[in-house]
Structure 1
Amino acid sequence: MACNRAAKSGFAAEAQRKINSKYSEELAQECLEWIRVITNEPINVSGDMDNFYETLKDGTLLCKLVNCLKPGSVSKVNRSTMAFKCMENISSFLNVAANMGVPAQETFQTVDLWERQNLNSVVTCLQSLGRKAHKFGQPGIGPKEADKNVREFSDEQLKAGQTIISLQYGSNKGANQSGISFGNTRHM
């Protein structure tokens, strides 16, 4: 756990301060309120780092969250407070979140939560999962994700598009680049 680690110093402490500075209490509070609504658990929804960490560190609430979104997704939730059991809960949550469509770049590593290394990445993961909740019939958080808009063009339409001059190529209305001298120095 985080209390078993030696205090960081030097560059490591500076890097940790930079990571912690990205943490948003407002987004964390929004995540905890969303978790409370979905799971019906009486949790403290204060967004400060200490409360956020204490609420989620053992992974049981995270497993309950994904089981509410997608029933039966985590078959065994460990109630033990032993480190490897708690980390197993967090890992189970991460696997289900990835299967529910949370992109890999928006997930976190188990130690980010368990050892309190990067709580901002935990918030990012929960925000991403919250955007996916609409697909599972639950209220979500954040902006609604866009639906795929696949367009089909016939060969005739594609050939017609090749005859159009793009405005990036210049204009076909008489404009040209005369008078522009390349390589001229800036006069001061």
Structure 2
Amino acid sequence: MSHVGPSYGSLAANQAKIAAKRDPNLDREAQEWIEAVIGEKFPSGSYEDALKDGVILCKLINKLQPGAIPKYATSGGAFKLRENISVFQNAARKYGLGDAELFQTIDLFEKHNIPQVTQCIFALGRTAQKKKFNGPTLGPKMSDSNVREFTEDQLRAGQSSLGLLNEGMSKGANQSGQNFGLSRHI
């Protein structure tokens, strides 16, 4: 990573906004969940430094879905390590995460948007619960669909009744007088 000088103007404002979204408690929760799933502690250092090379993320997705990433780099240059992150993102997408739940490689590798990385890990935790992963859980359980079936009689009865909002609006308009809807002659 090359050194980037201080930022000014709108770039500084955007970076401050991203930093304000960061919640150390959520980072800690995500880290504890990953450690429990993969069965190993993060190396000493910060949360984002441990995730930066993508190795831990590749191990995580392989625990959730064995064989999702058959091969990833455990050492090498920046290009190889960034490739780990891309491979993780593709595997997470196949696992069920949407594009809005993923992060960009630069968000993690250059530590530009760590809250988005944490959000992705929480989304992965929710998806794992939905897929009945037999292990630790992270975050709230995703809701299941609640499909309702109506008979033809119930549907017809619903069409003939007015909703409460409509009743109140039309009732007041009809009571207000006989001139409703009539034009005035001058």
Is residue 80 from structure 1 mapped to residue 78 from structure 2 by the alignment?
A: no
Structure 1 Cα separation of the partners of residues 30 and 157 of structure 2: 49
**Matched ranges for 1:12-161 at <5 A:** 12-43=11-42, 51-134=46-129, 135=131, 136-161=133-158
For the Cα contact (< 8 Å) 1:133–1:139, is it kept in 2?
no
Deviation at 1:175, TM superposition (A): 5.2
Between the two proteins, the alignment pairs up a number of residues equal to 172
Answer with 159-168 or 119-128: which moved more.
159-168
Matches within 5 A, 1:163-174: 163-171=160-168
Unaligned runs of 5+ in 2: 177-186
**What secondary structure is seen at the aligned counterpart in 2 of 1:126?**
helix
**Residue 183 of structure 2 corresponds to which residue in structure 1?**
none
Residue 58 of structure 1 contacts residue 81 of structure 1 at CA under 8 Å; is this kept in 2? no
Q: Could you tell me which residue of structure 2 aligns to residue 186 of structure 1?
A: none
Identity of aligned residues (%): 41
Unaligned runs of 5+ in 1: 180-188
**Which has a greater percent of helix?**
2
RMSD value, Cα: 2.1
Once the 2 structures are TM-superposed, how far is the Cα of residue 153 of structure 1 from its aligned partner? 2.5
Deviating above 4 A after TM superposition, structure 1's stretches of 4 or more consecutive aligned residues are: none
Rg larger for:
2
Deviations 1:103-160 (A, max 9, x none): 2212110110001110000000001111122222232111111111122333333222
- TM superposition score normalised by structure 1: 0.83
Query: Could you say which residue in structure 2 is the equivalent of 1:183?
Result: none
| Distance (Å, rounded) in 2 between the aligned partners of 1:175 and 1:160 | 21
| Map of 2:8 onto structure 1 | 10
